[in-house]
Amino acid sequence: MLLSHLETLNILSTPVWIVSAHSQHILFANTAARKLAGNSLLGPLRNGQFSVYSQESLEAYLPNLKKGDQIVEIWTIHKEGRAFPLSCRLSLAKFGIQEPAIVFEGSYASSASVPVVNPFPDETKPYRRDESGFYERFFQTNSAPMLLIAPENNGQIVDANQAATRFYGYSRDEMCMKHTWEINAMGQDVLPVMHEIARFPGGHKPLTFVHKLADGNLRHVQTYAGPVVVDGTRLMLCIIHDITEQKRLEQELERAALLDPLTGVGNRRQFMQLVENARTQNPQRTHNFSLMLVDADHFKAINDRYGHNKGDDALVMLARTLETGIRETDTVFRWGGEEFLILLPLTGLEGAMHVAESLRKTVEERVSPDLPALTVSVGVAQYETGEDFTRLFKRVDDALYQAKTSGRNQVQAARGSVTGEFPPLH
C-alpha cells in the first residue's frame, strides 16, 4: 500500500475509509473520518443499531463494484454519547493498494438519532389514491410487494399494492394504518435509517432488513427504496423482495464451510474467523485464554494396519471424545490431519493443563470393539499479553513436539515468550 497516496485524502472534508475486502480491516481513515468516528473498528460501524447493508462479506461486493454498480451502506456512528446513521457510498480503491480494497465515502452524517422533520412542509400535500390513474394501475398490477411511505410522518405507510397485502397478511386499509417501524424488526431505530435512504438517488443496490408479517413470522427481505413524487406528494417508494430462502441457504453453506466434513467440529477457517472477529470487535478485552494442540499418536500406523476407513472412524471417535471431555465454554477445531486445536477461554495454564491431562486419560481409557486403541500427545500454551498468534501457535506446537519426542501419550506445557500483538478471543 502506498500510504503517501492515501494521505492526500486528508484534505477532503468528506469522511473516507479504505477497507480490505478480504480481512475487512480498516487500512486507512482520513482526518474527517477520524474526527467523526475516532479510531472505531469496522465491526461496530457496520453492525450498530442503525447499520444496514446488502452483503455481510465485503468480498461479495467486488464483482458489482468492478461493473460500476451503485452500492451503498448505512453505518452507525457513535459520538458524544449519541448514535446516528451515516450513509456510505462504495467504490473500488485505486490508490496503489496491492490487495482488493473498498472505499467507503460518507455522504452525510445526521446530527441526531431521531428523524429529521420535513424541510418542505408547504410544498407537499396529503397522498390520495387515484383508482383510475396510470400510477395506481401500475402499482396494483406489479407482482412485487410495493409500499408507499411518508418519511416525514414517522414512516407512515400510505399505500400498499396487492402483492404487499398478500405478503404481509394485512388488508390494504390495515397496512395504511401502520408505520414502517411496526413491520421492521429494527423497530423505531429504522426511522433515522429511513430518512437516510430517502435521500439516495435511484439505481443503488437494495439493502437487507428483517420484516414482521401479520402472523408474527419474520422474513429476510431486500428492499429498494427511493424518493418519488406522486401527484405532487413527496413519498418514498419501497419495493420488497423476499430472500428468506436464499438467506437460509447462505447460512447453511457458511456453517458447512466452517465445519470439518469428517468430524463435524470446527475447522481451521472457523478458528481464524473467531480470531478476526475478536480482533475487530473486542480488542480492548484482556481475559486470559489458553490453547491446546492434540495429536493422535502413531496415526500413520493405524491407517497402514487397519485402512483409511477405520482411520477416519478413529478420528471421528477422537473428536467426539474431545468434545464430550471439554468444558461447555471450550471449543474443539480440527487443525489438520490427526491434529485438533482446543480453545479454552478465561483459562490459565494450570487450568488448561488439568483439562489436557483429563482428556489424555479419557482417550487412553476409551475402548471400542470396532476401533483401534488411541493415545494422544498434547501441547498447552497460555496466551501472554502482547503475543501474536504466530508466536503463540509456535509455542503450543513446540510443546506438542516435546510431548511426542518425550515418549508420547503425555501433556507438555509451552515455555513463555512474547512478541507482537494478539487479540483476546472472548
- Which residues carry out catalysis? 338
Cross-strand pairs, 219: 211
The two counts, helices (H) then strands (E), for the chain are: 15, 15
DSSP secondary-structure letter at 201? P
Say how far apart CA 287 and CA 308 lie, in whole Å.
Answer: 41
Q: Residue 41 in contact with residue 281, Cβ under 8 Å?
A: yes
**Closest to 297 (Cα-Cα) out of 387, 223, 404, 406:** 404
Q: Residue 210 in contact with residue 218, Cβ under 8 Å?
A: yes
| Three cell numbers written together for 269 | 477457517
For 241, half-sphere exposure in the C-beta direction (CA atoms, 13 angstrom radius) is: 12
Q: Residue 262 in contact with residue 340, Cβ under 8 Å?
A: no
Q: Residue 382 in contact with residue 395, Cβ under 8 Å?
A: no
Query: Hey, what's the torsion of the CAs at 89, 95, 96, 97, to 10 degrees?
Result: -40
> 3-state class of 394 per DSSP?
helix
Say how far apart CA 160 and CA 149 lie, in whole Å.
Answer: 9
**Closest to 295 (Cα-Cα) out of 244, 341, 327, 247:** 341
